[in-house]
Amino acid sequence: MRFSYYPGCTLKTTAAVLENSALKAARALGIELLEQEEWQCCGAVFPLTVDEIAPFLSSVRSLAAAKDTGEKLVTLCAACHHVLKRANHVMKTDKDVCNKANNYLQLPDQYRGGTEVIHYLELLRDELGFSALAQKVKKPLTGQKIAAFYGCLLLRPPAVMQFDNAENPSIMEDFLRTLGATAVDYPYRTECCGVYLSVQNEEIVAGMVEKIINSALRHGAEAIVDACPLCHYNLLELQQKTTHGKLTLPVYYFTELLEEALGLEDRAEEKMAI
């Protein structure tokens, strides 16, 4: 299995753990992820202006490059996935924007939304298949009670993202069960993490994170997993704000658990380090 792979800036810096574990796991699963050459910023936030095409252009370049190789484009960062998928949707459905973008970019071939953008989780679910993944699990996470945290970027807007049921998603719980863990159901799993408000007003975000963490704890979670660098930052850093530096609930990227279940890394050591 071979795919084009778009990493994005965060994975090369603060969220390097996410990328490293994901790539390692992919190799072990026999999935080839070819990092795009000269990829550029996705745009970071999906532009909601209707008359401005400049913010789309860098995304369109990556999408067009993937189309040239004829491969599906795999993303890992939830924010990059969100922006690329939505930009692609615009290219597919809005003829006017599509024409303007093509005119501006002057690509060797016209790009009209032909690339399929899939997230790493979708790759596991739809391309590899959770049942095939279960076969490869060497060290099942039996007995571990883990809460999944979805955030918003992968799920919404549901009509465009087509990721999972936006109100009652199950992909991360299915993933956790595939690894042998017990998925904890708790009310706040699709709530807002606070997003960029943590830059402006930490207090508000700390309150939101506290509710999420406490709810997961109340339902017996021993750890929480996410798929988004921003959720990860808020859940990890701002959890410590309210608990005065103590981490009441460890926070992992979903790929870290995948790595462990595949027998590639022992998270116990890491736990000690914290």
Burial 120-140 (b: 16+ CB within 10 A, else e): bbbbbbeebeeeebeebbeee
56 or 188: whose CB is closer to another protein? 188
Burial class of 108 by CB neighbour count within 10 A (0 to 12, 13 to 18, 19+): exposed
Tell me: does residue 187 bind another protein (CB under 8 A): yes
129 or 187: whose CB is closer to another protein? 187
Q: Which residue in 49, 168, 244, 245 binds another protein (CB under 8 A)?
A: 168
Least distance (Å) from another protein to the CB of residue 205?
Answer: 14
The token pair that represents 128 in the structure block: 């590899």
The token pair that represents 148 in the structure block: 């999944």
Least distance (Å) from another protein to the CB of residue 218?
Answer: 8
Residue 129, sorted as left (phi over 0), alpha (psi -120 to 50) or beta, turns out to be: left
Least distance (Å) from another protein to the CB of residue 82?
Answer: 20
> What SS3 string covers 146-189?
EEECCCCCCCCCHHHHCCCCCCCCCHHHHHHHHCCCEEECCHHH
Site for another protein in 218-237 (CB under 8 A): 219
Cβ neighbors of 210 (< 8 A, separation 6 or more) are 239, 242
3-state secondary structure (DSSP) of residue 140: coil
69 or 215: whose CB is closer to another protein? 215
The token pair that represents 208 in the structure block: 């939101």
Q: Which residue in 28, 57, 137, 166 binds another protein (CB under 8 A)?
A: 166
Q: Which residue in 20, 36, 182, 215 binds another protein (CB under 8 A)?
A: 215
34-42, 88-96, 182-190, 220-228 -> range binding another protein (CB under 8 A): 182-190
Least distance (Å) from another protein to the CB of residue 211?
Answer: 9
2-10, 12-20, 137-145, 185-193 -> range binding another protein (CB under 8 A): 185-193
Tell me: does residue 165 bind another protein (CB under 8 A): yes
Tell me: does residue 188 bind another protein (CB under 8 A): yes
CA distances from 56 to 40, 44, 63 (A): 11, 10, 11
Q: Where along the sequence are the contacts to another protein (CB under 8 A)? A: 165-168, 186-188, 190-191, 215, 219
